[in-house]
Amino acid sequence: MRSGVPRLAPLRGRRGGPGVREAGGGCAMKSVLFSRFFILLPWILIVIIMLDVDTRKPAPPLTPRPYFSPYMAGRGGARLPLRKGGPESGPGRSSQKSNESGPHPPPQPEPPLPTIYAITPTYSRPVQKAELTRLANTFRQVAQLHWILVEDAAARSELVSRFLARAGLPSTHLHVPTPRRYKRPGLPRATEQRNAGLTWLRQRHQHQRAQPGVLFFADDDNTYSLELFQEMRTTRKVSVWPVGLVGGRRYERPLVENGKVVGWYTGWRADRPFAIDMAGFAVSLQVILSNPKAVFKRHGSQPGMQESDFLKQITTVEELEPKASNCTKVLVWHTRTEKVNLANEPKYHLDTVKIEV
């Protein structure tokens, strides 16, 4: 009986067979993935190391690459490269570059600098050359200035002629004597000399178109700031400013309100129409030419009234142009050289050489 009954496999083997085969397949897949991972791992590390090393290297300088403008043409229609980032590039320059091949409008010329004509009366005296030397040293620093030097003499003196020849300034040397009857104390001085300068100026521009200019009466016994010439150069008609050390005061000046002259701060005759010193005003050249009869008067002019009598012929107080910060800065001084003491000078020349002083 036992021999005829078939034997059954153990229940453990029947239950575990398929499970064992399934588990064995999963282990095989994992082993394959792990083996491939470990094979690729060194290469991954090498790539990471190379990338890290490359990022630590300094970046090479960027070389600007040329580009071609469609508006620039060379010979045969070839395009010319333009460099980016060059000195001609930048905001607002692309249009300038693009139009270089086309016609350009001519550049607008700058307006000419107005010429300052300085009329200086002078006369022979021991300090004459010293006064003119100081004045020339100032004028040499002023651009576009023409010096009209008028001697009170019947002929040009050698001293003044030599002085002007060495001064290195654009100049005109005139002479006219003051009549003896007008050389009395209390009478106006330098009237004929200033009028001679006005006559020369009008004759010079009589047959030609007058360029912008300004007339200024520069006495040789004054001291001038260079700033004064910058102020007067913009004169449209008649400009005014303060003068120092004049009229028995530290200064005299026009009184200004709201940019207009309304009166005068002066120590002598404030009732004058123009209570101003000869060094305190400048006149446009066009005004001088437009008023050919405007001169300094001898007849009917009271002492100290020459400025007023002259200005009344060409302007009004309301038209005056205040300069020097609304007439609050002194830029010219009526200094006058001290009268020299020549008590020990011999009557006859005793030195072996003759020296010009």
DSSP string across 61-93:
PPPPPPEEEEEEE-GGGPEEEE-TTSTT-STT-
Q: Report whether 114 belongs to an annotated binding site.
A: no
Q: Report whether 172 belongs to an annotated binding site.
A: no
Q: Report whether 81 belongs to an annotated binding site.
A: no
Which of 307, 318, 319, 345 is the catalytic position?
Answer: 307
Q: Report whether 194 belongs to an annotated binding site.
A: yes
Between CA 309 and CA 226, with CA 232 as vertex, the angle to 5 degrees is: 120
SS3 103: coil
Q: Which of 354, 335, 303, 351 is nearest to 130 (CA)?
A: 335
Q: Report whether 209 belongs to an annotated binding site.
A: no
Q: Report whether 337 belongs to an annotated binding site.
A: no
Q: Report whether 336 belongs to an annotated binding site.
A: yes
Specify the residue for token string 């006369």. 123
Contact residues for 263 (Cβ-Cβ < 8 A; gap 6+): 254, 255, 270
Count of CB atoms within 10 A of residue 187's CB?
14
Q: Report whether 220 belongs to an annotated binding site.
A: yes
φ/ψ of residue 255, rounded to 5: -90, 130
Q: Report whether 54 belongs to an annotated binding site.
A: no
Count of CB atoms within 10 A of residue 69's CB?
15
Q: Report whether 223 belongs to an annotated binding site.
A: no
Q: Which of 337, 328, 330, 145 is nearest to 224 (CA)?
A: 330
131 is annotated as an active-site residue: no
Active site residues: 307
- Write out the binding residues: 121-123, 152, 189, 194, 219-221, 334-336
- Write out the binding residues for Mn(2+): 221
- Write out the binding residues for UDP-alpha-D-glucuronate: 121-123, 152, 189, 194, 219-221, 334-336
